[in-house]
Structure formats: structure tokens, C-alpha cells
Amino acid sequence: MPVPPLAFVRTGLVTSVGLSAPATCAAIRAGLTNPTETTFVDTDGERIMGHVVPLQQSWRGRARHVKMAAMALAECLAEVSRDEWVHLPLIVCVAESGRPGRLHGLDDELLIELQQELGARFAPESVFIASGRVSMALALERTRRLLYERAVPRVAVVAVDGLLNWPTLGSYEGDDRILTKRNSNGFIPGEAAGALLVSRPTGRGLLCLGIGFGQEAAHIGSEQPLRADGLTRAIKDALVDAGREMHEMDFRIADISGEQYYFKEAALAVARTLRRTKEEFDLWHPAECIGETGAAAGAAVIAVADAAVRKAYALGSNILVHMANDAGERAALVLGVEGV
């Protein structure tokens, strides 16, 4: 039986190709990208390319995270009175605790500093979720409970992350996971922040109809054969949640950022869940334009889906979203369109 849906009221994005959701989504739709040379070099002495957000000042570390997250939230909550923010739960999505080079103090200080930056406070139900690229799906599951079990009218979710520091880049470059002149099987690191305002259905717009999770034993760091068990489980559960079948999905959007492992996993999961022939089943991956943005990828994927629906260039009204982190956690969302 389908579960209660979530409605995406408004989005906010800060990326290397745009400092707002409309600007970023327009750039992604056009296929624009702008990686630049960073100050870091690979083992061959070549500059590592990265997707850098063009902020007004060269803030670093957690301060940079705070600035990006504040910009995304301010855009997302532009139509919500600041007097109401104190009653608005905020879910903050950040990098997983085991990620190489993870910034110190994310779990203890980021929310405090973010509230200080915005000059506002959020509701006591505000929490952190530190699961990297699957954080957004976990946040939406928690949002559904707040909206329907706690009768909270709206929930804000913000995701922020960045891989542009040497402890992170050094680890990934050492594992041959960064795209360089000698390594074509890798990603371009980036940074970003994204925010979503979520409520019960409002009458028209993008909805989250189903959420599913799985655990992949053959994650990217393992030596086990990949069967996409975790992603398959997540997709099947999300479809059941939404009361949909895989063949009803019109296209897919994923957090895939360039590594062959994740493309192979996506293909295997489709092969194991699709029971009717589809002539086309497009896969959109915004990271092609904004780079690997870690925990922020989930917000970017949903913002792209929202823009596609609002601007009427979506390839249909049923959208499958899937996410995966390096630890093996998998998540899938079934999105639909209200009022269609």
C-alpha cells in the first residue's frame, strides 16, 4: 500500500556552475561545466582539476561549508518568514564519519555556526545525518515521520560537502579514483550545498512517493563480485513504497560521478528490476557538470528533478532516483508529479 507522499516546495543550490538553483539547473540542462586547476597535484606532478564554488572570499574548511549551506538555505527559505524558522526542523546532511579528510567539528559545530551565519534559530527537532551521498534519502525518511507522525507542517533539509582538501584528495588519488591524464576511470572532485523545503502535498509539483534502502556487500573498496544486491533492494523497496512498477518509471537521475563501478551497478540494478522492455530509459547524472560533491549530491539530484518538472522538460512524470556511498549504503527514491 502506498505511503504518504512528500512535496518539494522550494529548492536552493550553490555549485561551481551556479549560485542558485535556477542558475545551476539551467547550466546542467545545457551541459555546461567549468572544472579548474586546484592548488593540489597528483603523483605525476599535474594539477588536479576540481569544481570550485566561486565565493566572494576564499573561506576554507568548515567556514566554507557554513557559507555555502547558508546561501542554499537562504534561497530555499526566501518565502518563509524568519519568525517561523524557530518552529522549522532543520536536517543537516554531511559527509560520513569514515570519509578521508572529513572536516573536524561537523557534528558538533556546523549547526551552531550555520544558525549564527543566518542570524536565526531552528526547531529543537533539528538533527545531523552523516551518511554522505545517501544522507538525503535518510533525511527524507525522517522528514516523512516528522510531517505525518509529529504533525510538523514543514521541514527544511540542507546538505553540504566538499572534497577539495588534500587529506581527501590525497587518499582518493592514491587509490586511483580521481580523474587525471593517466586515469580515465575516476571523478572530478567538487563542492556544493543544496537545500529543500518539504511539506505535505500542496496541490501541484514534485512529490517523493517512495523511499527504499539497501546494503551492498560488494562495495567499491571490496574484492567481492558486484551483483548490485543493495541497490536492487533499495529500488524494489522504493517502488513498493510508491505502489509503482519499474517499467512505469520514465527516466532516472543518479549521483554517479564518473567511476565505472557505479555505472555498472546501475545497469545491473535495472537488469534485475525491469521486467518489461523499454525502448529508452535515460540516466541523468548532474555530477557530470558539478563534479563529485559527496553529501550535497542528493540535494542536487532532487533540485534537477524539480526544475525539470517545473520547466516541463522532464521525460515523464515518474522518476527514479538512486544514491550510493562508498561504505555500501544504497538508497532509492520514486518521484512523481502532483496535479498531472
d(CA 56, CA 327) in angstroms, rounded, equals 34
pLDDT for position 339: 73
pLDDT tens, residue by residue, 121-145: 999 999 999 999 999 999 999 999 9
d(CA 138, CA 265) in angstroms, rounded, equals 21
Is the pLDDT score of 190 beyond 70?
yes
* Residue that wins the pLDDT comparison between 301 and 58: 301
**177 within 8 A of 39, measured Cβ to Cβ:** no
d(CA 224, CA 237) in angstroms, rounded, equals 24
Residue type, 125: E
- Nearest-Å Rg of the Cα atoms of the chain is 19
pLDDT for position 1: 58
d(CA 114, CA 107) in angstroms, rounded, equals 12
Average pLDDT, the chain: 96
**221 within 8 A of 328, measured Cβ to Cβ:** no
**Cβ neighbour number for residue 56 with a 10 Å cutoff:** 7
Q: How far apart are the first and last CA of the chain?
A: 21
- State residue 321 phi and psi, 5-degree precision: -115, 135
The pairing of strands 47-50 and 36-41 is: antiparallel
- 284-291 average pLDDT score: 98
User: Which residue's C-alpha cell is 527516466?
Assistant: 251
State what percent of residues in the chain have pLDDT above 90: 94
**300 within 8 A of 133, measured Cβ to Cβ:** no
How does DSSP assign 70-88, residue by residue? Answer: HHHHHHHTTTS-HHHHTTS
- 151-172 average pLDDT score: 97
Is the pLDDT score of 2 beyond 80?
no
**233 within 8 A of 245, measured Cβ to Cβ:** no
pLDDT tens, residue by residue, 21-61: 999 999 999 999 999 999 999 989 999 999 999 999 989 99
pLDDT for position 117: 97
pLDDT tens, residue by residue, 106-123: 998 999 999 999 999 999
Torsion of CA 84, 89, 91, 92, to 10 degrees: 50
d(CA 221, CA 51) in angstroms, rounded, equals 24
Is the pLDDT score of 223 beyond 90?
no
Local structure of residue 321 (DSSP, 8 states): E
- 176-197 average pLDDT score: 96
6-199 has CATH 3.20.20.70 classification:
no
pLDDT for position 41: 93
Domain ranges of the chain: 6-199, 205-338
How does DSSP assign 220-253, residue by residue? Answer: TTS-SPP--HHHHHHHHHHHHHHT--GGG--EEE
pLDDT for position 340: 58
Whether 205-338 and 6-199 are alike in CATH topology: the answer is: yes
- 134-161 average pLDDT score: 97
d(CA 33, CA 282) in angstroms, rounded, equals 20
pLDDT for position 251: 98
pLDDT for position 141: 98
Q: Which CATH architecture has domain 205-338?
A: 3-Layer(aba) Sandwich (3.40)
d(CA 115, CA 88) in angstroms, rounded, equals 12
pLDDT for position 203: 86
Is the pLDDT score of 321 beyond 70?
yes
> C-alpha grid cell for residue 251?
527516466
Give this prediction's pTM: 0.96
pLDDT tens, residue by residue, 238-263: 999 999 999 999 999 999 999 999 99
Residue type, 254: A
